Amino acid sequence: MKAGVLATGSVLVSAKIANAQEVIAFKLPDLGYPLDAMEPHIDATTMGIHHGKHHAAYITNLNTAVASSDDLKGKTIEALVGDLGAIKDAKLMATVRNNGGGHWNHTFFWDSLSPAARSGKPSDDLTAAINASFGSVVKMKEAFAVAAMTRFGSGWAWLIEKDGKLAITSTPNQDAPMMKGMVPDTEIGKPLLGVDVWEHAYYLKYQNKRADYVAAFWNVVDWSAVSKRLG
């Protein structure tokens, strides 16, 4: 009898610990600015749905996936998306790839935006790095726009730092430049800037005109934040 009571108590403690672990979940980050802060370049309705519905859904799905696997619990988002090959279950891996990537990419995207009046310009160091790799800021923006326009379907265009140089890449879906083993090695690098070219990011205001959205995006790039990522 006594052993039975102890065993029951032990089970209860384990359940409490398990619940406590599930409480430590990824949360939707605050934007740090009002939904209409990027008007007219990115409209408030798009921002609200994009952040409050799309990004939130990635987080909900990611938390469900993490809660289902003891191997995933307690890891940072960078650890999860940077080592997807460690997840042996193919379906679970795909869920973390899509939704973990979605969480990381969107957090990075929100942190890359600033109202047009405070957008600024690349730092001297970043300007020098851009000039060394592309010839000029204008040429970098052209290459970035080409990557954004030629990404078929949904995905992202990126400015990345790789082996001491800068490069323009793009990824499908919610893949990100740190997803080793998932994206080609040529596209692995440190992301400095990314633009979301999923239709949900621009369709309400720009409809099929992705090029107009990408051109408008430059007005709300937070160059201070982007410049600090260099190095």
Q: Which residues of this protein are in contact with Mn ion, per CB under 5 A?
A: 196, 198, 201
Q: How far apart are CA 147 and CA 171, in angstroms?
A: 9
Give per-residue burial for 87-106: e unless 16+ CB within 10 Å, then b.
beeeebbebbbbbbbbbbbb
Closest to Mn ion by CB, 28 vs 67, is 28
- How far apart are CB 121 and Mn ion at their closest, in Å? 26
Closest to Mn ion by CB, 80 vs 201, is 201
Strand-pairing partners, residue 157, are 170, 195
Minimal CB distance to Mn ion: which residue? 196
- How far apart are CB 59 and Mn ion at their closest, in Å? 12
Closest to Mn ion by CB, 81 vs 166, is 81
- How far apart are CB 9 and Mn ion at their closest, in Å? 47
- How far apart are CB 58 and Mn ion at their closest, in Å? 8
Closest to Mn ion by CB, 54 vs 73, is 54
